[in-house]
Amino acid sequence: MLNLNQRDTGTFLFVIIITVLAPFVMNPFPTESAMAQFNAGYPDLMQRFVIFGIFAIGFNILFGLTGYLSFGHAAFLGVGSYAAVWMFKLLSYNIIPALVLSVIIAGIFSLFIGFLCLRRSGIYFSILTLAFAQMSFAIAYSVLSNPKFNLTNGETGLQVYADDIQLFKVENLTTPHLFGVKMNSTYELTLGAWDFQFNVGYYVSAVVMILMFYVSIRIFRSPFGLMLRAVKTNQTRLNYTGLNTRPYTLAAFVISGMYAGLAGGLLASMDPLAGAERMQWTASGEVVLMTILGGAGTLLGPVLGAGFIKYFENILSKINDNVLHAWFQYLPEWLENSLVWVLHWFTGKGWHLTLGLLFMIIVIFLPGGLMDGANRIREAIRGRKAKKNAKTPAE
């Protein structure tokens, strides 16, 4: 199907089914039950799953295939967001021109940065991209928000005001929409004890993500993708065969930058506000984390990683001491209190600690990420010798 081999078709269909049925899949617990706080089926979170999925898929094209570890991809996400909000301010709230412009601007920006950074590799590349991203953050935060030339609106964040130009303004449409269908409109379906939410913004983002996932499969299986893998495996050897690798790595860099820009544009389409903190290097670190956690160089990994991290970010940070006490109320009091005391450090405000620990554990014990772990478990169940497949890269 669609020029994919059987296995890729399976993966692709799996992603389509999961994303389409996400409002059901993410919402397994009845609304009134105690477990309801583990539900992720609300629009805001589901949108972030797919949008950061796009971001991570794009990052994976660079890092997973070529091995170039960029610490500055959040800059492209931020640029995409700013471009999208500017389109809202100048044209109208329709998201199509906003997305198009955010991809174009992010592409141009990443072409410029990639052209400079890709002259070095290894640690130098990481540090150069980091420096560029920090510089973009500083520029967006302070340089471009002076009263004379206010492009980013500094600390407040760029947003649409009532007196903005909006050339093709449509009355009654004061939030982002797709030809009149508002992004924030949600259809609620009540089935017994369950409430399911179907959000327009989520489905728009999901369709975009499915398309982008398809593009990434095609890139992975193309001669171009093979060339990128060759760069990762042995760049020196490629150079000795008389081949200039820079155009290939630059193309990969620009493609992943455009993915990031698209993700940024979608973020702005869901909530028309762009702030500089999206460009900070911790945000770049987050996408690295998602990709590694899911499994760099695999197709499905980055999407899984993005979902995993966004889920824990939301769910863990909601668990406070009262919730913990409610969980353990059946235990003896001393045990309840000590358990709550221990878990207190890892949940609620402390979820970053859990994230850091999780990250270390993954890098130390499971460098191939979740996908590698799943493969290992599958091998163990089948009882095959793991040795045979240990050397092949995870797919």
Partner 1 sequence: MDALLLQILNGLDKGSAYALIALGLTLIFGTLGVVNFAHGALFMIGAFCSVTLNKILNLSTVTLDATQKDFLGNPLKVKTPYVESWFGEAAGQSIIDWSVPLAIIFAIPVMLAIGVIMERGLIKHFYKRPHADQILVTFGLAIVLQEVVKAFFGANPIQTPAPDALDGVMDLGGAIGLQLSYPVWRITYFFFAMAVIGGVFAFLRFTTFGMVVRAGMADRETVGLLGINIDKKFTIMFGIAAAVAGLAGVMYTPINPPNYHWGMDFLVLSFVVVVVGGMGSLPGAVLAGFLLGILESFASTTWATTTIPGINQIIIYLVAIIILLVRPRGLMGRAGVMEE
Query: Binding to partner 1 by residue 4, rule CB under 8 A?
Result: no
Q: Residue 189, SS3?
A: strand
Q: Compute, in degrees rounded to 10, the torsion defined by CA atoms 317, 323, 325, 331.
A: -100
Contact 253, 119 (CB under 8 A): no
Q: Which is nearer to partner 1, 196 or 346 (CB)?
A: 346
Q: How far is the CB of 334 from partner 1 (least distance, A)?
A: 22
Report the residue from 33, 142, 222, 338 that binds partner 1 according to the rule CB under 8 A: 142
Site for partner 1 in 263-282 (CB under 8 A): 281-282
Q: How far is the CB of 383 from partner 1 (least distance, A)?
A: 29
Cα separation, 214 vs 97, whole angstroms: 22
Query: Binding to partner 1 by residue 239, rule CB under 8 A?
Result: no
Query: Binding to partner 1 by residue 10, rule CB under 8 A?
Result: no
Report the residue from 15, 45, 69, 316 that binds partner 1 according to the rule CB under 8 A: 69
Cα separation, 326 vs 346, whole angstroms: 17
Query: Binding to partner 1 by residue 370, rule CB under 8 A?
Result: no
Query: Binding to partner 1 by residue 28, rule CB under 8 A?
Result: no
Query: Binding to partner 1 by residue 331, rule CB under 8 A?
Result: no
- SS3 annotation, 58-77: HHHHHHHHHCCCCCCCHHHH
Report the residue from 19, 126, 249, 375 that binds partner 1 according to the rule CB under 8 A: 126
Query: Binding to partner 1 by residue 356, rule CB under 8 A?
Result: yes
**Closest listed residue to residue 266, CA positions, set 98, 75, 140:** 98
Q: Which is nearer to partner 1, 95 or 362 (CB)?
A: 362
Cα separation, 83 vs 101, whole angstroms: 6
Q: Which is nearer to partner 1, 291 or 375 (CB)?
A: 291
Query: Binding to partner 1 by residue 156, rule CB under 8 A?
Result: no
Contact 282, 72 (CB under 8 A): no
Cα separation, 294 vs 125, whole angstroms: 23
Query: Binding to partner 1 by residue 112, rule CB under 8 A?
Result: no
Cα separation, 246 vs 240, whole angstroms: 14
Cα separation, 137 vs 285, whole angstroms: 14
Cα separation, 204 vs 201, whole angstroms: 5
Contact 60, 215 (CB under 8 A): no
Q: Which is nearer to partner 1, 120 or 218 (CB)?
A: 120
Q: Residue 299, SS3?
A: coil
Query: Binding to partner 1 by residue 342, rule CB under 8 A?
Result: no
Q: Which residue stretch of 15-23, 130-138, 202-210, 329-337 sits at the interface with partner 1 (rule: CB under 8 A)?
A: 130-138
Query: Binding to partner 1 by residue 253, rule CB under 8 A?
Result: no
Query: Binding to partner 1 by residue 138, rule CB under 8 A?
Result: yes
Q: How far is the CB of 11 from partner 1 (least distance, A)?
A: 25
Backbone angles phi and psi of 274, in degrees to 5: -125, 125
Report the residue from 14, 112, 124, 187 that binds partner 1 according to the rule CB under 8 A: 124
Contact 213, 303 (CB under 8 A): yes
Query: Binding to partner 1 by residue 143, rule CB under 8 A?
Result: yes
Query: Binding to partner 1 by residue 207, rule CB under 8 A?
Result: no
Only one residue has tokens 């799996």, namely 14
* Contacts with partner 1, residue ranges (CB under 8 A): 67, 69, 116, 119-124, 126-128, 130-132, 134-135, 138-139, 141-144, 146, 281-282, 285, 288, 292, 345, 350, 352-353, 355-357, 359-360, 363-364, 367
